[in-house]
Amino acid sequence: MKFVSVDPSLSNTAIVWGEIVDGKIIPENWKVVASKKSAAKMPVMQDRLNRIKDIFAALDEVLERIKPDVTFGEFPTGSQSSSASVSLGISLAILAKLPNLKAVTALDVKKEVSKGVVSKDDVMDYCVFKYPDFPYEKKGDVLIKARMEHVCDSVIIAQAGLKKMK
């Protein structure tokens, strides 16, 4: 079975794909769609629309190429501000594009790593230990945190989502 897993965000959407073999995920590769506010002067809504279009185009390209049997994604958590509410809505729109979605919560993802408090470094360390052959982006022996924290989240989202299938 082929899968695509997504850690949705307006700023850094991580997309991971791979196979499910013998009830285990085998992540093969990844893409991060990093979108920052435009430096060009334009209305805020036009800028957001452009950023969302870029995310959707990248996601559509991966879905068309991989043709997954199942997709995984993490529900966004609550928001405390209007801009966080916008990001939450965009994250849900990203998930809405995923066919045969098995969605998980942030708690489901954290439970995959540890029973206690889980940091981004914990997630990355866990991922590297569990999936050492995955093509991480590194500088020397160190993961490039800006992208890999999202990619590792996406890998573990798939792992947690697989449990929802059983």
Q: What is the pLDDT of residues 118-151, one digit of tens each?
A: 888 899 999 999 999 999 888 777 778 778 999 9
Q: Domain holding 9: CATH number?
A: 3.30.420.10
* pLDDT at residue 67 is higher than 90: yes
- State the pLDDT at residue 140: 73
> Which tokens in the block code for residue 28?
């093969």
**Which of 44-58, 75-89, 97-111 is predicted with the least confidence, judged by mean pLDDT?**
75-89
For the question of whether the overall pTM of this predicted structure is more than 0.85, the answer is yes
- State the pLDDT at residue 69: 98
* pLDDT at residue 20 is higher than 90: yes
Give the CA-trace dihedral at 126, 131, 68, 77, to 10 degrees. 10
- Mean pLDDT for 98-115 is 93
β pairing state of 24-34 and 12-21: antiparallel
Domain count, the chain: 1
> Which tokens in the block code for residue 96?
């809405």
Structural domain that includes position 38: 2-165
Q: What is the pLDDT of residues 148-164, one digit of tens each?
A: 999 999 999 999 999 98
